[in-house]
Structure 1
Amino acid sequence: MIDNLMLGIETAVSPENLLWCAVGVVLGTLIGLMPGLGSATGVAILLPVTLTMEPVTALIMLAGIYYGSQYGASTSSILISTPGDSSSVVLTLDGYRMARNGRAGAALAISAISSFIAAIISLMVLLALAAPVASWALNFGPPETLAIILLGMATIVTFAGENMLRGIIMAAAGLLLAMIGTASGFTTARFTFGSMNLLSGLEFVAVMIGIFAIGEVVHQIHRGGEKPIRARLRDLMLTKDEAKRILPPALRGTFLGTALGVLPGAGATLASFMSYGLEGRVSKHRKELGSGAVEGVAAPEASNNAAANSSFIPTLALGIPGSGTTAILLGAFVIFGLQPGPMLFEQQPDLVWGLLVSFFFGNLLLLVLNLPLAPVFAQVLRIPYSYLYPIIIVLSMVGAYAVGNSMFAVWVVFFAGALGYFMKRYGFPAAPLVLGLVLGPMLERSLVQTSSMGHGNLLIVFERPLSAFFMVLAILAFVGPPLLGVINRRRERSRQEKAATPA
């Protein structure tokens, strides 16, 4: 291990590799800032540029684009409530609220610090456990995936706040929207109404941009707009209390993100949602979630970055992509004549370990770049809204068109924007809807596969130890909070009755 680590450091610190690592993270940050592009699109667009490079140099640059875009996407979520990537959707809940409260610079700093903590810890796991953990992940079949997705869906209890019914309604609406298109494993078209554009389903990024970006703009216009922030530089820095509150949620998000990132297909999006849900149950400041809590920024951002790093474990050790972006990177390996898998560690140790060690330098560079620039980015909120709103709308339209490559995606943004406005107007939570839309295709696919494995008997999930464990957690996560609420109300009523009884 030490020999491999030294070989990786020697490869990663070569001037050429360091230069292209820096180029990758800067380009990734810029790509992440643009709504709708995301890391997968950025890597796909820039892959041809790397074909003349050495394989290790090209992969270091492409990986830098991947985790660099995570930073950029978080910045746009915090500043203008426009997620640059699906994994940064959760940051709009507390990050954007912090920005509206005059703490934009602090929110960006929390995001950068949490990401760096997650990067270092997940990198150590990646270096030490890549092959063993990837072998463990092979034990996960459709029943285990189904159980984990149901556990993720159970987090709607947290997202819904006090009104659990509205959260369930929004999650169900998200699942219904996810059913539009061709049925998983079949050729049956559902809810397409004869439209060819709907055969492949609704473009998630377009819906996300509409609900959060356009919905927020229309909502603010209806309210008459808010005054631009006039914050002094020192108001944009972290307070002592905020700095103390970063580490616990960042660590929780890191370990959850690292575990979920290893699972093929789970990805950073599910990790960020579940880490936010976890904070709603264990954080000392859980009552502040949704109003600009430090934990609501630190936990999902840490899990996002950790999942992005750990998704390289199945990619490198098994040749199975851990996310959409690593699937494109897997194609890059093939283009360069490399075959990811256990033998890659034996045949190309300088490439594997050089790539992994480069993550440390790339994330360190991102921290150095983003911390000083946080107050600068925060000045975006000082632009008068008569100028800022048109910019947001134009960026949203361009991002949607770039993803769908058609005007249909732009129309989806408009309709989703109207939906987002009415949800904000009448107090329906957006997070359960997005969660249902994200997990819907994965849920259907794993449900069909599990049913096939059990010959129609879905109780097979309770016959396998891992899937049974996650199912029990999902049930507890769903019924636990309401039961605790009933118990607490009875205790309070009993205490009041005893206090009212004369001695």
Structure 2
Amino acid sequence: MDITWWDALITGMTAVWGWQALGLIALGVAVGSVFGVLPGLGPVAAIALLLPATLGLPALPALLVLAGVYYGAQYGGSLPAIVLDQPGEASSVMTSHDGHPLALQGRAGAALVTATLSSFLAGCLAIGAVILLAPWMVSAGMQFGASERFLVLVVGLVGATVLASGSFLKALAMTVLGLLLGLVGWDAQTGSVRFVPVGLEPWMGHRQGLTDGVGFIALALGFFVVAPVAAELAGLSTHARTRPLPEGASAHPRAAANGMDTRPTRGELRDALPALLRGTGLGAALGVVPGGGALLASLAAYRLEVVVSRQRVPALGQGNLRGVVAPEAANNAGAQTAYLPMLALGVPPNTVMALLLGALGLHAIEPGPSVMELQPTVFWGLLVSMWVGNLFLLALNLPLARWWAPALLHVLRVPRRALLAALLVAAGLGALALGPHGWGVWLVMGLGLLGFVLQRLGCEGVALLLGYVLAPGIEEHLRRALQLSRGDWFVFLERPVSALLLMVAIGLLLVVVLQPRRRASR
């Protein structure tokens, strides 16, 4: 922990310097941009599909690809949001409110350039904040005992459950189900097998698949690829549908081609600078909040800008560049700072971070404060790679902006069902690598069917995934704390930090429980 800032940056730059590392970063941001452009997909599906392909890579190269996909999707989602009013990624919804009116005014190029520049600057500032704060958070985390580490994970899990959209009871049920799935298989301390049904041998031929646990890749493919695709094919998807393109859209004069050569003026850029700073600060803060992330950051930043810029002409929602800058800066800043609690404390604040946390586990890296000490190359290499990826995205988006809109229109003409079928085929190929005798395929299909039914019931897979990835850590630290205290549950109240964390968790639950009663009394 005596490493200096300069040594840390040198370590990170050395780790990502080379044709292989740079090529993997470029591949990740390119794939992320494509998935961000396609409405209804986004980084979660892309990362889930790429997880089997990264199993043969070392830890850092695998994370470089997956991380590049995440912030590449944040960039890519703004293009269809501005040009076609069809946000490719959920966090780009707010960008379309002012971006598309600008495109209809023949200024699509100005909106895209502004979105790219604001995303780049906000991302760079947020990465700098992560690098500055990460050692401090890691140092604090290293001082935690077993009880504090257990309660940190509990607070993260409770916070994500409380802040989840929809019914709290459904989110709680999904969290508990995720915890149970994360405990399936061998118990490392007792040597016993847990939650594995007997009698599977006659029709499956073996039980080895479940005794090894429910695979993280199978869970990701089943819940975040197979289930959403099945729901959309069945016409039951709860996601916003992609609106059909109008006839002759390839020649749409205002939204696609004619306005792509425009650029924002210096006066407009200076006027948008305060919105950039506000969006960056708000997004960086909300990125570390459990259940927050890029979507919440972009929504909050746009609403703040509506209040701050209410006297501006044109007003927000009618083609004001501030309405493009604020959400784009916020969602990219939130995407970067989300790495801070995931790397420093092992607490993922959103779905993508939960997937990356699971990817660390696939490469036998224990998430949490020990990553910086035991795997400094992975820790600092991942952080420095974000700067490199943002540079690649800037080079990819600015010079080629005028070509993106026509290419997008051609891509969106691919039949939706053909695209969904291709995703299922890709998921099936990834499942083949998960076990012998087709066990992986059966497991992915079963989890996909479970996810489809739960989605039909209005349950989200996000809480389940968070419960799954945090289950091993929660069990390990709980056992260690009780062993050290000889079974005394008051160990969680003996130290100030653990008592404070326990109060925070209880307070979050009380807020949810008391809120309906307060509304009823009103």
| TM-score higher than 0.5 | yes
Amino acid in structure 1 at the alignment position of 2:227: G
- Bigger mean CA offset, 274-283 vs 181-190: 274-283
CA contact 1:182–1:199 (8 Å) conserved in 2? yes
Matched, 1:426 2:457: yes
Aligned pair partner of 2:490 in 438, 453, 459: 459
For 2:126, which of 104, 121, 129 is the aligned residue? Answer: 121
CA contact 1:118–1:302 (8 Å) conserved in 2: yes
Could you tell me which runs of 5 or more consecutive residues in structure 2 were left unpaired when the two chains were aligned. 36-45, 80-86, 101-107, 199-206, 261-267, 305-323, 347-355, 366-370
Q: Could you tell me how far apart the structure 2 residues matched to 1:193 and 1:222 are?
A: 31
Q: Give percent identity, aligned residues only.
A: 25
* Aligned match of 1:157: 162
Shift of 1:146: 1.5
**1:365 maps onto 2:392 in alignment:** yes
Matched residue SS, 1:383: coil
- Whether 2:219 is the aligned partner of 1:214: answer no
Alignment of 1:47-86 (within 5 A): 47=58, 64-65=64-65, 67-71=67-71
1:36 matches 2:48: yes
Give matches, 1:262-411, under 5 Å: 273=291, 275=293, 302-308=333-339, 359-369=386-396, 380-402=411-433, 407-411=438-442
Q: Report the 3-state secondary structure (helix = DSSP H, G, I; strand = E; otherwise coil) of the residue aligned with 1:166.
A: helix
Alignment partners' CA distance in 1, 2:175 and 2:8: 48
TM normalised by structure 1 equals 0.63
Paired position in structure 2 for 1:143: 147
Report the alpha carbon displacement of residue 279 of structure 1 after superposing the two structures with TM.
6.7
Contact kept, 8 Å, 1:179 with 1:190, in 2: the verdict is yes
Structure 2 vs 1, CA of residues 278 and 187 (structure 1 numbering), >3 Å: closer, same or farther?
Answer: farther
CA distance in 1, matches of 2:196, 2:72: 34
Query: 8 Å contact 2:122–2:330 — kept in the other structure?
Result: no
Residue 255 of structure 1 deviates from its aligned partner by: 4.3
Name the CA distance, whole Å, in 1 between partners of 2:70 and 2:469. 18
SS of residue matched to 2:48: coil
In the alignment, what sits opposite 1:201?
213
Point out the more displaced range, 472-481 or 365-374: 365-374
TM-score by length of 2: 0.61
Q: Which amino acid aligns with 1:120?
A: L
Distance 1:112 1:149, change over 3 A: farther
User: 1:296–1:449: structure 2 CA closer, same or farther, 3 Å change rule?
Assistant: farther
Q: CA deviation at 1:112?
A: 10
Provide the residue aligned with 1:268 in structure 2: none
Q: Residues 40 and 325 of structure 1 are in contact (CA less than 8 Å); yes or no, is this contact kept in structure 2?
A: no
Cα displacement (A) at 1:206: 1.6
C-alpha displacement of 1:139? 0.9
1:9-52 superposed Cα distances (whole Å, 9 cap, x missing partner): 99969xx948666423113336766553557963x64559xxxx
| CA distances 1:101-130 after superposition (whole Å, capped 9, x unpaired) | 999x999x989966863453233442x456
Distance in 2 (alpha carbons) for counterparts of 1:275 and 1:421: 24
Structure 1: how far apart are the matches of 2:116 and 2:189?
39
Taking only aligned residues, the RMSD between alpha carbons, in angstroms, comes to 5.5
Q: What residue identity is the alignment partner of 1:217?
A: V
2:162 aligned counterpart, secondary structure: helix
Which residue identity does 1:164 align to in structure 2? F
Are residues 465 and 38 of structure 1, via their aligned partners in 2, closer, same or farther at CA, if it must alter by over 3 Å? farther
* Cα offsets for 1:407-455 (capped at 9, x unmatched): 2222122112212222232322332222222222222222212222222
Q: Is the 8 A contact 1:214 1:414 kept in 2?
A: yes
CA distance in 1, matches of 2:177, 2:221: 17
Aligned residue pairs total: 423
| Distance of 2:394 and 2:255 partners within structure 1 | 20
Amino acid at match of 1:410: V
Instruction: Tell me by how many angstroms 1:361 deviates.
Output: 3.5
Q: Distance in 1 between matches of 2:295 and 2:481?
A: 26
SS of structure 2 residue aligned to 1:36? helix
| 8 Å contact from structure 2 (residues 343, 379) kept in 1 | no
Answer whether contact 1:150 1:474 (CA < 8 A) is retained: yes
Distance, in Å, in 1 between the alignment partners of 2:303 and 2:455 is 24
Which residue of 410, 414, 427 corresponds with 2:445? 414
Deviation at 1:204, TM superposition (A): 2.2
Instruction: Give the secondary structure class of the aligned counterpart of 1:159.
Output: coil
Say whether residues 1:483 and 2:514 are aligned partners: yes
- The 2-side partners of 1:196 and 1:276 are apart by 39
1:169, distance to aligned residue in structure 2 (A) = 1.9
Return closer, same or farther for 1:329/1:35 CA change in 2, 3 Å cut-off. Answer: closer
2:174 is matched with 170
* CA distance in structure 1 between the partners assigned to 2:477 and 2:77 by the alignment: 30
Take 2:168 and 2:427, find their aligned partners in 1: how far apart are those partners? 31
SS at match of 2:139: helix
- In 2: Cα distance, 1:481 partner to 1:209 partner: 31
Task: Tell me the equivalent position of 1:435.
Answer: 466
Q: Give 1:157's aligned amino acid.
A: V
Judging changes above 3 Å, is the alpha-carbon distance between structure 1 residues 62 and 186 closer, same or farther for their aligned structure 2 residues?
same
Q: How far 1:378 moved relative to its partner?
A: 8.0
Query: Which consecutive unaligned segments of at least 5 residues does structure 1 have?
Result: 49-58, 80-90, 259-270, 287-293, 316-321, 332-338, 346-350, 492-503
CA distance 1:304–1:215, shift in 2 (3 Å): same
1:469 is matched with which residue: 500, 514, 521? Answer: 500
Name which of 478, 483, 496 aligns with 1:447: 478
SS at match of 1:457: coil
- 3-state secondary structure, aligned to 2:196: coil
Alignment match of 1:134 (pick from 131, 138, 153):
138
Alpha-carbon distance change, 306 to 97 in structure 1, aligned in 2, over 3 angstroms: closer
Residue identity matched to 1:360: W
Query: Aligned residue for 1:191?
Result: 195
Alignment-mate amino acid for residue 23 of structure 1? G
Partner of 1:319: none
1:435/1:378 CA distance change after superposition, 3 Å: farther
Q: Partners of 1:233 and 1:465 in 2: how far apart?
A: 64
